Amino acid sequence: MGDPISPGWVATNGGVLTRLAPRIGSPFGVYMPAFNVSLKVIARALFGAVVFAATVQAAVVQGTMEEGLAAYRAADYVKAVEIWRGLAEKGDPVAQYRLGALYAEGKGVVRDDATAMMWFQRSANQGNADAQYNVGASYAEGDGVDKNEAEAAKWFRRAADQGMAYAQINLGLLYASGRGVPQDNVQAMKWLGLAVIALPAGGPRSDAARAMQDVADKMTPEQSREAREQTRAWKARPEAK
C-alpha cells in the first residue's frame, strides 16, 4: 500500500475538524499520520516500530516467520506471501496480521481490501492489538467491509485497552465527536491523554495534544478532574493468548 488509506474527517465537540488515523500499512511498520486539528494532514511511513518490536519473539520461535521477514525486506513479496499464508492458515495471529497487510498493500498479491480485512479479523479475534486497530480503521472507512462507526469504536477500544496508542487517539476522537459512541468529553480526554503519554515527542503526539486542548476548552472543572483521575488509574490489559 503505497499511501496510507485515507481516513475521514471527524468534527470534535465544538466543530473543530480533525482526522482519524489510517490503517497500518506495513507488516512490521506503521503509518503515523498527523492528527491535525487544522485542515492539513500529513502521513508518514515508519518501519521497524510497533509491529516488529511486538513480534520478535514469535520470529525467533518460528523460523519460517523470520524467513518471511527476510523475503519482505528483500522485496520478494510473493515468497513472503507464501510463507505467511502457510502460517496464517495454521492459525498464527502474527502471520495472519502480516498477510492481511500484504493484501492491503497489494504486495505479492492483487490488492484486496476484503481479503485483508478477513485476515486482520482473524488475527484480531486472537487478541493481536495491531490487527484490532486495523479492523477498527477498516470499519471506520468502509475498507473491505461495510462502514460501521460503532464497530470501529469497538475494535479501537479493544486495541486501546491493550495500550495501542494510535487506537487510543482514534477512540478519543470518536468520543469527542460522538460518532460510534455517545459523546463524552471525559472519555475523549482520557484516551487522548493516554496516547500523548505513550507517544514520542512530535508528530501525532503534538496533534493529539492539540485535540486535547479543543476538548478541554469545553469541559467543566469537575469533568477535567474526573478525566485526570481516570487517566491515572488506567492500566493496560493485554488480552490472553
Nearest to 115 by CA among 90, 82, 141, 85: 85
N-to-C CA span, the chain:
29
Cell numbers at 212, concatenated: 486535547
- Which of residues 203 and 22 earns the better pLDDT score? 203
The pLDDT of residue 24: 55
The pLDDT of residue 86: 93
Q: How confident is the model at residue 21 (pLDDT cuts 50, 70, 90)?
A: low
- CA 147 – CA 61 distance, rounded (Å): 37
Tens digits of per-residue pLDDT, 97-135? 999 999 999 999 999 999 999 999 999 999 999 999 999
Q: Which CATH number fits domain 9-233: 3.40.1190.20, 1.25.40.10, 3.40.640.10, 1.20.910.10?
A: 1.25.40.10
Whole-number percent of the chain with pLDDT over 70? 73
Domain spans in the chain, listed from the N-terminal domain onward: 9-233
Tens digits of per-residue pLDDT, 193-234? 999 999 988 888 888 899 999 999 999 999 999 999 999 999
The pLDDT of residue 223: 97
The two most distant CA atoms of the chain are separated, in Å, by 57
Tens digits of per-residue pLDDT, 71-107? 999 999 999 999 999 999 999 999 999 999 999 999 9
Q: Kindly give, in sequence order, each residue whose CB lies less than 8 Å from that of residue 4, ignoring residues fewer than 6 positions away.
A: 22, 23, 25, 31, 33, 43, 45
- Which of residues 210 and 22 earns the better pLDDT score? 210
- Which of residues 197 and 7 earns the better pLDDT score? 197
Decide if pLDDT at 5 tops 50.
no
Q: How many helices (H) and strands (E) does the chain have?
A: 12, 4
Tens digits of per-residue pLDDT, 153-177? 999 999 999 999 999 999 999 999 9
